[in-house]
Amino acid sequence: MPYTLPSNNIIVVENLTKRFNGFTAVDAISFNVKRGEIFAFLGPNGAGKTTTIRMLITLLVPTNGGGTIDGHNFVHNPAEVRKIIGYVPQMISVDGTLTAYENLMLMARLYDVPSNERDERIKEILSFLKLEKYTNSLVRTFSGGMIRKLEIGQAILHRPRILFLDEPTLGLDPITRQNVWEHLLELRDTFGTTIFFSTHYMEETEAMSSRVAIMQSGKIAIMGKVSELKEKTNMKNATLQDAFIFFTGNVLEETGNIRDIKRTREIARKLG
């Protein structure tokens, strides 16, 4: 049966703003995310997606505005927010010199998972991600898809209510991307985990998201279900790309500064 979204919001954001030395990276955005929803931030590099996520997960303090994560204010109560979220960043977050088990045990300790539960939880995670036979293998021998799955395992080890993923399939081939999403969908369907992800992949957004917010130059240009965004273009057989162009006036492509491009290529090289 299809997953049914509860009616209550788990993320509430109001007028969220972030400026860096006079540059506005995120410009007074407001939105809600429902409990159990798969919510996508779609946009090119430099649109403000990563900066927004970093504010929500308490790594950056907003210049203005704020909001709540499952009732906890992410500006004033960051410690409470960190207990209930998981985060998979763009950059590689596992240690290649450690085994899969050792990487997960390190995170179990950092998240204060009770010592008498750590071993069992690690076994459960490795089984869930179909990585059991690589338990004692060094992560530097893993493929890109295995690395991403292990990073997801690290992020859900403490059983978070919300999982944030910043470009989770960047640098992965299409088959591996599909495999990663199969695990994420199973996570949502089994445990009701809310998934908030950023991406610049149109097909990924269309296939996986409950709703999407199109980001452009620090603002939310439009937000809703993919079908709703297509309909609002008044174009016959409109695609998500058509909707993006209609609401932003731009073709979605790799933009950003040289630092963004170098980072993207480095991630793709490491996961390749």
Instruction: Name the nearest CA neighbour of 100 among 123, 84, 75.
Output: 123
Specify the pLDDT at position 107. 94
The HSE-up count of residue 206 (CA atoms within 13 Å, CB side) is 13
What phi, psi does 10 have (nearest 5°)?
Answer: -100, -20
Q: Does domain 1-84+161-259 have CATH number 3.30.70.580?
A: no
Instruction: Name the nearest CA neighbour of 193 among 37, 51, 41, 65.
Output: 37
Identify the segments of the chain with pLDDT beneath 70. 1-7, 251-272
Query: Residues 247-255: contacts with CB within 8 Å, 24+ apart?
Result: 247/214, 247/216, 247/221, 247/222, 248/214, 248/216, 248/221, 250/44, 250/216, 252/42, 252/43, 252/44, 252/200, 252/202, 253/44, 254/44, 254/45, 254/200, 255/44, 255/45, 255/46
Amino acid sitting at position 147: I
Residue ranges of alpha helices (H) inside the chain are 49-56, 78-83, 100-110, 115-128, 144-156, 174-191, 202-208, 226-232, 240-248, 258-271
d(C-alpha 201, C-alpha 198), whole Å: 9
Task: List pLDDT tens digits, range 152-181.
Answer: 999 999 999 999 999 888 878 888 888 889
What phi, psi does 27 have (nearest 5°)?
Answer: -115, 85
Specify the pLDDT at position 258. 39
Q: What DSSP string runs through 134-174?
A: GTTSBGGGS-HHHHHHHHHHHHHTT--SEEEEESTTTT--H
Alpha carbon 165 to its chain's center: 2
Amino acid sitting at position 78: P
d(C-alpha 8, C-alpha 1), whole Å: 21
Q: In this structure, are residues 134 and 43 in contact, taking their beta carbons and an 8 Å threshold?
A: no
Specify the pLDDT at position 267. 52
Domain ranges of the chain: 1-84+161-259, 93-159
